[in-house]
Structure 1
Amino acid sequence: MLQPYIVQPGDTLLRIARSFHINSESLLAANPFLAANERLVPGLVLAVPSQASVSYRVGADDTLLRIASLFSISIHALIAANSQVDLTQLSPGQLLSIPAAGIGRIVDGRAEYGARELKADAKALLRTYPFLQSKSIGQSVMGKPILALRLGEGPAKVHVNAGMHANEWITTPLLMTFAEDLAQAATAGIRICGADARRLLRQVTLWLVPLVNPDGAELVQEGAGKEHPYYHDLMDWNNGSSRFTKWKANIRGVDLNDQFPAFWEVEVARRDTAGPGPRDYPGPSPLSEPEAQALAAFTREEQFDLVVALHTQGQEIYWNYRGYEPPEAEMIARRLGRASGYKPVKLTGSDAGYKDWFIQDFRKPGFTVEVGYGVNPLPVASFPELYDEVKPLLVAALEAALPDVL
């Protein structure tokens, strides 16, 4: 059975398939006029294969959690499938719609993930786990909020950011998946990668910034039509190509991880990049871009004890900067390496990155983690394997920040 769907701005094959809990191959088969790598035109009507749902009659002892567990779905998915029903009090005999099994969680990394997905998932996480907190730390060039999420209430402060480079956007759902798993483990009173989640969040305050560069991520995932306010500049900076898969910069063609005041002038000379483009342009001055300004101001405000910046790719951990790093930095890097299988690397010949600036100005442990291995952007199909690497690394970073360790 097929149902019609009208393509919305920002839609991709993977996003539509994810929404309907089908695979992209099924969607292509039902719409033979589509090509897998072509940009979808808003307003196009697609035929979507239907996923069946079933009905369930509520029993006297049923709760939302019990029903969700019975069908291996998330409470969020159950609520979404019954949006017209008040589920605050279940009544025996009440009929509920049970959606076809998806991935059983809020965050879904099986398709492109940008500002829209982040906003929706953050809202769902805050509703499901009320002890989470969120705030906007600033805006992108195009006015998109740069969201921060907080878990925990401990004296040690840890920060992890992701999505700084546009075509490395897969780090955003990786970080959001970790936030969901950590919140769920703390709620259930269980361990995560061998660590007591509740103990961690009593001793550590974790601030996440999952998507530093929302404009750039949108560009890589959706391209730019003629209606885009930067269309002509982007086409010029991208050598006339409408394919932006290699774009790392923000929407003004500035590499955000070359924006920080840590020997910025040396990095400018090393890059020797004439002006805006897909990568490696440090900008007209340090912190000229609102995304970098927001992250720097947030870091100064919170005075973190340890930071991790997620990038792709290479399966490496960079832990030093010009001798400013504290003595324990290398030991912590080795600990992160053992947890993930990544290689700690003492890096030279790189300046003006977020990690560089943090180490230089705060003299505390800072790490750049190059997630996965291959070519950017890493394929969405590799998400489960990437998360298997990232999850224990982030737990190890939290444990490294505990007061009896630092």
Structure 2
Amino acid sequence: MNLSFTYMVQPGDTLLRIAGYFGVNEFALLAANPRLTHEAPLIPGLILTIPSANFIYYCLQPGDTLNDLTERLHVSVYSLLTENPQLDPKHLIPGQTLKIPAPIRSRIIQAKAEYGYRNLRNDIETMVRDYPFLKQSVIGQSVMGKPLPALRFGRGAKKVHVNAAFHANEWITTPLIMRFMEDLARGYKLGAKVRGEDCQSLYEHVTLWVVPMVNPDGVELVLEGATPAHPYYEELLRSNRFSERFQAWKANIRGVDLNDQFPAHWEAECERRGHDRPGPRDYPGPHPLSEPEAQAMADFTREQQFDLVIALHTQGQEIYWNYRDYEPPAAEEHARQLAEASGYRAVKLAGSDAGYKDWFIQEFRKPGFTVEAGIGVNPLPLDQFEDMYDAVQSLLLQALRL
């Protein structure tokens, strides 16, 4: 039967996020709530009507657990608990009837709505449950105390690292790398190939560590804005010329550009940038590694001693592979191979310092790449995601082969 139900808007909700939670079309959501518009912000506490898909009903059996149910029935914990508010997830009662929403995904990483820190944490939890051979770790904390998660696939001798969302308004890079990890994990579990690459062989020969969101505080600011209750509200307004629109914000929550934070000719970058105070972009901070996110990345990199790193950014469809002639002799050829795999352009870059890739090349004399995915103006729209992923997936698979 077709039913509808109500939902109370929570802080951080957007139209696309709510539609994604319940597996409904955003236009159906607008039709069911005539007061809603794409432009108007959603106010926490607002009651919405959710047009529902078809439901099935399930009678709890002895031994059922919440995790078993969500995996077997292909629904999220969130939607299951929303549809059954009387359900105590810690005490499932055999014989109790549950309303089960129609399955809404064949993938964990959907990328159909704004992708923030809460989405990331929920997806990591689901992925390590579904694919227990994936290992998660925490490499540090953001300024506001958010743990910075890392995911590991593989146990091989070659150690590769990819990071994403150094810049807040480049948050689309996070679901890109999470989709890639999901594809590798699913391929390994099923004994399948991804674009001809045997995932079980990759698992044995490569160790891939990803840090999918280096700058969670900044991403949250771009996606959700700041209210007077935000602990940095006054500082953020001053840094943003008293505008409450933060879509162009690249920096962390203290207004420091995290990709200008590394001790690779940092002073030259400060002089070039000419920014001596916090702002939406290009302020390198008071000194190298002043920000906990940058310090965590440096510590993690030194601890792991990677053989190759990729910093995933947007936009431009370019690959930067060099740094002041510190790069190893094979770097240019590697960049050519990555460009051929992705359709992007390999670029020998000058006039840029203090980035993560720059520091890695200088400190370790190993291959490091900055990949500018997609094309347009940041933040890139989600309707680019699938095309971007095709290129990024091919590029990353090639990186694992190098």
TM-score (norm 2): 0.90
Aligned to 2:43: 41
Q: How does 1:1-400 map to 2 (within 5 A)?
A: 1-54=3-56, 77-78=74-75, 80=77, 99-400=101-402
Q: CA deviation at 1:99?
A: 3.9
1:343-397 deviation line (CA, Å, top 9, x unaligned): 0000001000000000000000000000100110000122111111111111111
Structure 2 residue identity aligned to 1:185: G
Deviates more, 1:77-86 or 1:327-336: 77-86
Query: Counterpart of 1:245 in structure 2: which amino acid?
Result: Q
How far 1:341 sits from its partner (Å)?
Answer: 0.7
Asked if the contact 1:2/1:50 (under 8 Å) is kept, the reply is yes
C-alpha distance 399-95 of structure 1, shift in aligned 2 (>3 A): farther
Provide the secondary structure at the position in 2 that maps to 1:52: strand
Change (3 A) 1:277 1:75: farther
Query: Alpha carbons of 1:321 and 1:10: their partners in 2 closer, same or farther (altered >3 Å)?
Result: same
Identity %: 60
| C-alpha deviation, 1:202, in angstroms | 0.4
Structure 1: any 5+ residue segments left out of the alignment?
A: 58-67, 87-93, 401-406
1:180-219 CA-to-partner distances (Å, cap 9, x unmatched) read: 1100001111111211111111011000000000000000
Amino acid at match of 2:33: N
Structure 1 residues 351, 125: closer, same or farther in 2, change over 3 A? same
Q: Are 1:39 and 1:222, in contact at CA under 8 Å, matched by a contact in 2? A: no
Distance in 2, Cα, partners of 1:95 & 1:203: 47
Q: How far did residue 46 of structure 1 move? A: 1.2
- CA distance in 1 between counterparts of 2:287 and 2:73 reads 44
1:4 Cα deviation after fit = 1.0
- Counterpart of 2:63 in structure 1 is none
Deviates more, 1:188-197 or 1:203-212: 188-197
Match in the other structure for 1:91: none
**Pair 1:46–1:79, CA change in 2 (3 A):** closer
- Poorly superposed stretches of 4+, deviation over 3 Å: 54-57, 73-76, 78-86, 94-99
Larger deviation, residues 26-35 vs 245-254: 26-35
Q: 1:95 to 1:5 in 2, by over 3 A?
A: closer
* Offset at residue 78 of structure 1 (A): 4.2
Distance 1:82 1:218, change over 3 A: closer
Residues in 2 aligned to 1:197 and 1:148: alpha-carbon distance in whole angstroms: 20
Residue range with higher mean Cα deviation, 2-11 or 353-362 = 2-11
**2:88, 2:256 → 1: CA distance?**
48
Look up the SS of the partner of 2:369 in the other structure. Answer: strand
Q: Matched residues in 2 for 1:399 and 1:144: separation?
A: 33
Whether the aligned pair in 2 keeps the contact of 1:159 and 1:308 (CA below 8 Å) is yes
User: CA, structure 1 residues 302+342, in 2 after alignment: closer, same or farther (shift >3 Å)?
Assistant: same
1-structure distance, mates of 2:340, 2:54: 44
Higher alpha-carbon deviation: 336-345 or 211-220: 336-345
Give the letter for the 1:322 counterpart: R
Which string of whole-angstrom CA distances, capped at 9 and with x for unpartnered residues, describes residues 87-142 of structure 1? xxxxxxx9997643423111121111111111111111111111111111000000
Cα 1:127–1:76 change in 2 (3 A) is: farther
Contact conserved, 1:74 with 1:105, CA < 8 A, in 2?
no
**Structure 1 counterpart of 2:51, one-letter code:** P
Compute the TM-score of the two structures, normalised by the length of structure 1.
Answer: 0.89
Does the C-alpha gap of structure 1 residues 96 and 327 become closer, same or farther in structure 2, counting only changes over 3 Å? farther
Q: Is the 8 A contact 1:76 1:124 kept in 2?
A: no
CA shift, 1:54, in A, is 3.4
SS in 1 for 2:302: helix
Cα distance between partner residues in 2 of 1:121 and 1:179: 11
Letter in 2 for 1:18: G
Seen in structure 2, the aligned counterparts of structure 1 residues 31 and 237 have a Cα distance that, compared at 3 Å, is same
Q: After alignment, is 288-297 or 21-30 more displaced?
A: 21-30
The CA deviation at 1:331 is 1.0
Q: Distance in 1 between matches of 2:401 and 2:381?
A: 30
Q: Is the 8 A contact 1:245 1:377 kept in 2?
A: yes
* CA-CA distance at 1:274 after TM superposition: 2.7
Give the SS at the match of 1:211.
coil
- For 2:62, the equivalent position in structure 1 comes to none
Contact 1:53 1:99 in 2 (8 A): yes
Over 3 Å counting, the alpha-carbon distance change for 1:98 and 1:321 in structure 2 is same
Amino acid paired to 2:56: V
CA distance in 2, matches of 1:106, 1:285: 39
Q: Is the 8 A contact 1:312 1:369 kept in 2?
A: yes
